[in-house]
Amino acid sequence: MGNTISPGVLRLGRVSESKVSRDLYTALFTCRKNSSDFLGQARVDAKHGVLEIEMFNDVFFENFSVSRPQVLEFLNEKILKLMVAAGHILPLFLEPVATMETADLSSQIEDESSVQAHTHDLVAILSRLNRDHFEGKISAKICWGRESGSKNNRSFRFGSYDHRSKQIRIHPRLKQAFVPESVLELTVFHEMCHQWAPPRRVRGRGCYHHAEFKSKEREYPRYKEAREWEKSHWKKLLIPPAFKRD
Ligand SMILES: [Zn+2]
């Protein structure tokens, strides 16, 4: 599917570091497509392994026969490679990713059959965490995301939260037996924190994991245990279950 998308000629431009943190920066890039140059920006949160792509002109997407999220996903991968090649992205970027937020989650559809097949009840986890740690104030829907069936390259998105629809999605690979309960719970907790401590603009830039967010996230009782596991095992999550031999 991805192979059929041609992104045009990509050129990486100026990189601006954030004044807040060395882990946050933006890079401009141009994409020459059908004889037009389109300007885009990559926002990088190196600490959390998050790379977000934004195109400044929506006309850009009219050059493709596939959906906007597919174009963005493809661009994301290409830009990531360019940035690694240019030395902008340090090995830190390859560390575990708490989550990645994208504005476009429309391509992700729940897989009802696998929800029922699994004993982990996301709604129960969310309700319990809400009662014990959020004063019952979180109002959100939760479901498993869809298994893409393909290998992730460099990062793994544990979950996501869409502020508009108040929808939390949890990566279906967290259903696997080797994933500790604390990791699944922390992922749900993390996404709930996004509603509790919404993104802020920090020096003109959207910041999701700001100080207040992080301090709330650490209230999860098994935070350290879960993070330790993520650090040493996250690579196992890059591979779809069907690809594994064991
Ligand atoms: Zn997050």
Q: Tell me the C-alpha distance between 45 and 52, whole Å.
A: 9
Tell how far the Cα of 37 is from the centroid of ligand 1, in angstroms.
32
Does residue 79 surpass a pLDDT of 50? yes
Tell how far the Cα of 8 is from the centroid of ligand 1, in angstroms.
30
pLDDT at residue 4 in the model = 59
Tell how far the Cα of 40 is from the centroid of ligand 1, in angstroms.
23
DSSP alpha helix (H) spans, the chain: 68-85, 112-117, 122-133, 181-196, 211-217, 223-233
Query: What Rg do the C-alpha atoms of the chain give, in angstroms?
Result: 18
| Fold exhibited by the domain 112-237 | Zincin-like (3.30.2010)
Tell how far the Cα of 121 is from the centroid of ligand 1, in angstroms.
21
- The string of pLDDT tens digits covering residues 46-60 is 666 677 888 888 889
Cβ atoms of 198 and 152 within 8 Å: the answer is no
Pick 38 or 240 by higher pLDDT. 38
Does residue 76 surpass a pLDDT of 60? yes
Q: What distances in angstroms separate CA 103 from CA 165, 167, 182, 218, 239, one per listed residue?
A: 11, 12, 27, 25, 25
Does residue 232 surpass a pLDDT of 90? no
Does residue 119 surpass a pLDDT of 60? no
Tell how far the Cα of 182 is from the centroid of ligand 1, in angstroms.
17
pLDDT at residue 238 in the model = 83
Does residue 101 surpass a pLDDT of 80? no
Tell how far the Cα of 197 is from the centroid of ligand 1, in angstroms.
10
The token pair at 57 is 């002109």
Cβ atoms of 27 and 42 within 8 Å: the answer is yes
Q: Tell me the C-alpha distance between 92 and 104, whole Å.
A: 25
Q: Where are the domains of the chain?
A: 2-94, 112-237
pLDDT at residue 170 in the model = 94
- The string of pLDDT tens digits covering residues 184-199 is 999 999 999 999 998 8
Does residue 155 surpass a pLDDT of 80? no
Tell how far the Cα of 58 is from the centroid of ligand 1, in angstroms.
26
- The string of pLDDT tens digits covering residues 84-96 is 777 665 433 433 3
Tell how far the Cα of 98 is from the centroid of ligand 1, in angstroms.
6
Q: Tell me the C-alpha distance between 6 and 18, whole Å.
A: 31
